[in-house]
Amino acid sequence: MKTTLDLNDQLPASAKALAAQQRTSLTRLIEEGLQIRLRVADTRVVNGRVQLPVFPGRGGLVAGIDPCSNRALIEALGGDA
């Protein structure tokens, strides 16, 4: 589809430079940007709150690690606390 847009003069210039830097077309850059914005707009809002995606798998906290302790979490990761 072809369309005409009225954009700030600096925006297309910056977009063309970015497209060239990324070795892609201006059209592809604009398509990607619109897809990102539409995905964000598609986020579910219920009762004024955004519903975050939840992993439906199994698992959870490792036994013996206090999730409220930064020191315990760092040590579990093998770091120096």
Domains of the chain: which residue ranges? 8-51
Query: Which DSSP letter does residue 61 get?
Result: P
**Do 33 and 39 touch, CB atoms closer than 8 A?**
no
pLDDT given at position 12: 92
CA distance 41 to 31: 15
CA distance 79 to 81: 6
DSSP 65-81: --TT-HHHHHHHTT---
Neighbours of 73 (CB within 10 A): 14
pLDDT in tens, 15-46: 999 999 999 999 999 999 999 888 876 666 66
pLDDT given at position 41: 67
Task: Name the pLDDT band for 9 (thresholds 50, 70, 90).
Answer: very high
Higher pLDDT, 72 or 45: 72
pTM: 0.50
